[in-house]
Amino acid sequence: MLAMRRRNTGFWIWAEALDLLRNAERLQRRVVAQDALQAVPCWEPAVDLYEQGDELKLFVALPGVSPRQFEVILEGAGLVVRGSRPIPSALQRAAIHRLEIPYGRFERRITLPPGRFRLHKQFFEDGCLAIVLRHL
């Protein structure tokens, strides 16, 4: 009977320790995610760039980002797209088991081919920002 109590007590202590570790990991993930949102850019969106006639076309992968959450700047020989993709509010109180989609601030600097360009138009298409530049 005494051996049974010791075994049950040991199991209970082990279960409590594991529960404390899970809670600590959950808090750490939440703090890391919040720090990433407030820090310097932490990810870069993928970009396709091609030239067609007198136009230079760029597609920037920005799923989950609204037009109010980014800016496009044409500067010198390059283009800068920067902004933020917030963590969805439903995830802020969730226990995260995997976090592969980058959230927080992003910035992508794209070197353009030789020449001078002006921004002709930009629009969203299937989760991508489409940018059309024209040669001057």
Residue 38 has pLDDT above 60, yes or no: no
Residue 91 has pLDDT above 90, yes or no: no
What is the pTM (predicted TM-score) of this model?
0.68
> Which three-class secondary structure state does DSSP give residue 108?
strand
Tokens of 36: 């990433």
Round to whole Å and give the CA distance between 98 and 45: 20
pLDDT at 30: 66
* Residue among 76, 80, 135 nearest 105 (CA): 80
Average pLDDT over residues 95-118: 93
Residue 45, Cβ neighbours under 10 Å: how many? 21
pLDDT at 112: 96
Average pLDDT over residues 75-93: 90
Tokens of 11: 């199991």
Q: From the options 2.60.40.790, 1.20.1440.230, 3.40.190.10, 3.40.50.2020, give the CATH code of 1-136.
A: 2.60.40.790
Residue 71 has pLDDT above 70, yes or no: yes
Residues 61 and 125: beta-carbon distance below 8 Å: no
Round to whole Å and give the CA distance between 106 and 40: 8
Domain boundaries, the chain: 1-136
Residue 3 has pLDDT above 60, yes or no: no
Share the mean pLDDT of the chain.
85
Question: Residue 16 corresponds to which amino acid?
Answer: E
Residue 37 has pLDDT above 60, yes or no: no
In terms of pLDDT, which residue wins out, 131 or 41?
Answer: 131
pLDDT at 119: 96
